[in-house]
A and B are shown apart, each in its own frame.
Chain A
Amino acid sequence: MKLNRRVFIGSGAAAATTLTAPMAFAGGHGKPRVVVVGGGAGGATAARYIAKDSKGAVDVTLIEPSRMYYTCFFSNLYLGGIKTIDDLGHSYGTMAASGVNVVHDWAIGVDRDAKTVTLAGGASVPYDKLILSPGIDFVEGAVAGWDLSSQNAMPHAYKGGSQTELLKAQIAAMPQGGTFAMVAPPNPYRCPPGPYERVSMVAHYLKANNPTAKIIVADPKSKFSKQALFQEGWAKHYSGMIDWIGDDFGGGKVSVDPGAMTVTIDGEVTKVDVCNVIPAMKAGRIAELAGVTDGKFAPVNAIDMSTKADADVYVLGDASQQGDMPKSGFSANSQAKVCANAVRGALTGSRVFPAKFSNTCWSLIDTNDGVKVGATYEATDEKIAKVDGFISATGETADLRKATYEESEGWYAGITADMFG
Chain B
Amino acid sequence: MIALWMGFLFSTQVSTREDRALQVNLGTMFALAAFSFTGLAQASGMGNPDLGAALFKKCQSCHQIGDQAKNRVGPHLNDLFGRTAGGLEGAKYSKSMSQAGRDGLVWTEDTLDSFLESPKSLVAQTRMSFRGLKDAEDRANLIAYLRAFSKEEAPAPELQATGQGIDITLDPSVLAIVGDAEYGEYLSSECLTCHQSNGSNDGIPGITAWPTEDFVIAMHAYKQKVRPHPVMQMMAARLSDEEIAALAAYFSDLD
> Does A224 count as interface, using CB distance less than 8 angstroms?
no
> Does B204 count as interface, using CB distance less than 8 angstroms?
yes
CB distance from A46 to the nearest CB of B (A): 11
Across the two chains, which residue of chain B brings its CB closest to A393? B230
CB distance B131 to A334 under 8 Å?
no
CB distance from A316 to the nearest CB of B (A): 14
CB distance from A104 to the nearest CB of B (A): 26
Q: Which of B195, B201, B203, B231 contacts A390 (CB 8 A)?
A: B231
CB-CB under 8 A from A358, the residues of chain B are 190, 193, 234-235
- 8 A Cβ contacts from A379-409 to B: 387-390, 403, 406-409
- The count of residues in chain B whose C-beta lies closer than 8 Å to any C-beta of chain A is 27
> Does A411 count as interface, using CB distance less than 8 angstroms?
yes
CB distance B230 to A374 under 8 Å?
yes
Complex interface: stretch among A8-16, A147-155, A253-261, A413-421: A413-421
- 8 A Cβ contacts from B92-133 to A: 131
CB distance from A137 to the nearest CB of B (A): 25
CB distance B238 to A415 under 8 Å?
no
CB distance A353 to B230 under 8 Å?
no
> Does B187 count as interface, using CB distance less than 8 angstroms?
yes
Across the two chains, which residue of chain A brings its CB closest to B185? A53
CB distance A409 to B231 under 8 Å?
no
CB distance B193 to A376 under 8 Å?
no
Q: Which of B187, B192, B234, B237 contacts A418 (CB 8 A)?
A: B192
- What is the bound-complex CA distance between A358 and B234, given in angstroms? 10
Q: Which of B190, B197, B202, B231 contacts A356 (CB 8 A)?
A: B190
Q: Which of B183, B185, B195, B231 contacts A374 (CB 8 A)?
A: B231
Chain B 213-242: CB-based contact to A (< 8 A → 1; otherwise 0): 000000000000000001101110110000
Q: Which of B195, B231, B235 contacts A414 (CB 8 A)?
A: B195
Q: Report if A403-B195 is in contact (Cβ < 8 Å); known contacts: A334-B190, A376-B235, A388-B237.
A: no
- 8 A Cβ contacts from B178-200 to A: 182-183, 185-187, 189-190, 192-198, 200
> Does A127 count as interface, using CB distance less than 8 angstroms?
no
- What is the bound-complex CA distance between A291 and B195, given in angstroms? 37
CB-CB under 8 A from A54, the residues of chain B are none
CB distance B202 to A410 under 8 Å?
yes
Q: Which of A53, A351, A407 contacts B204 (CB 8 A)?
A: A407
Q: Report if A337-B231 is in contact (Cβ < 8 Å); known contacts: A351-B182, A410-B202, A411-B203.
A: no
- What is the bound-complex CA distance between A174 and B181, given in angstroms? 56
CB distance A410 to B204 under 8 Å?
yes
- What is the bound-complex CA distance between A410 and B204, given in angstroms? 5
CB distance from A304 to the nearest CB of B (A): 13
Beyond the given pairs A353-B183, A410-B194, 15 more chain A to chain B contacts, judged by CB atoms under 8 angstroms and listed by A's residue number, are: A334-B193, A337-B189, A351-B182, A356-B190, A376-B234, A388-B234, A406-B202, A406-B203, A407-B194, A407-B203, A408-B203, A409-B202, A410-B203, A411-B204, A414-B193
